[in-house]
């Protein structure tokens, strides 16, 4: 299967795994070795300042820390806009990528907007390909505002509505369709 780096994975209504129910995942890297993504619509109740005060040069300490996925929940990943994309550890799309571990020490790192994530979503070799073939996920190209939206809790509905057609109908589906 072709790489889906830079794409959004939108959980289908049938994906009932609690880690991914109604999530939107930005795929940061996808190769034959597996895939790494960040859940964009799961803000935690913890602020960046409470969790990692060392990031005060890049992020407002009052910003919420996001839950990036179930893998390595104690690890921190910063997704950012880069003035020089070569400075990123990984680029997902355009100039949006993952900050290298040492970059938060550099006040002139050339970073625009940034968001911190605890943990990430990960797939082993061929695992994501199988989930895509099974129809667990809907693909949509990522746009900058998806990564840094101020309406994170509405992102699932927003992206499906943008996709249009029958996906826009799915976006309006209640969490429990049996009550409809």
Closest by CA to 62, choosing from 116, 121, 10, is 116
pTM of the model: 0.93
Output the pLDDT for position 180: 57
Output the pLDDT for position 108: 56
**At which residue do the structure tokens 């109908």 appear?**
169
Which three-class secondary structure state does DSSP give residue 88?
Answer: coil
Stated as kind and residue range, the H or E segment containing 25 is strand 24-31
Closest by CA to 116, choosing from 157, 152, 155, 158, is 152
- What is the CATH class of 7-179? alpha beta
Domain boundaries, the chain: 7-179
Output the pLDDT for position 100: 79
One pLDDT digit (tens) per residue for the chain, 180 residues: 699 999 999 999 989 899 999 999 999 999 999 999 999 999 999 999 999 888 888 899 999 999 999 999 999 999 999 998 888 999 999 999 999 775 555 555 688 999 999 999 999 999 999 999 999 999 999 999 999 999 999 999 999 999 999 999 888 887 766 665
Output the pLDDT for position 87: 87
Output the pLDDT for position 102: 58
């Amino acid at each position: 299967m072709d790489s889906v780096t830079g794409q959004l994975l939108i959980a289908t209504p049938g994906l009932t795994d609690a880690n991914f129910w109604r999530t939107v995942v930005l795929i940061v890297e996808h190769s034959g070795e597996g895939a790494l993504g960040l859940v964009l619509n799961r803000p935690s109740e913890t602020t960046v300042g409470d969790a990692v005060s060392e990031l005060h040069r890049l992020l407002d300490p009052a910003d919420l820390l996001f839950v990036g996925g179930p893998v390595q929940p104690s690890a921190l990943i910063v997704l950012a806009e880069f003035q020089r994309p070569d400075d990123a550890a990984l680029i997902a799309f355009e100039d949006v990528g993952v900050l290298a571990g040492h970059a938060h020490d550099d006040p002139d790192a050339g970073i625009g907007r940034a968001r911190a994530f605890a943990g990430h979503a990960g797939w082993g070799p061929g695992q994501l390909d199988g989930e895509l073939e099974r129809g667990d996920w809907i693909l949509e190209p990522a746009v900058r505002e998806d990564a840094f939206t101020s309406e994170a809790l509405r992102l699932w509905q927003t992206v499906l509505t943008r996709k249009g057609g029958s996906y826009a109908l799915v976006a309006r589906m209640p969490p429990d369709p049996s009550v409809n």
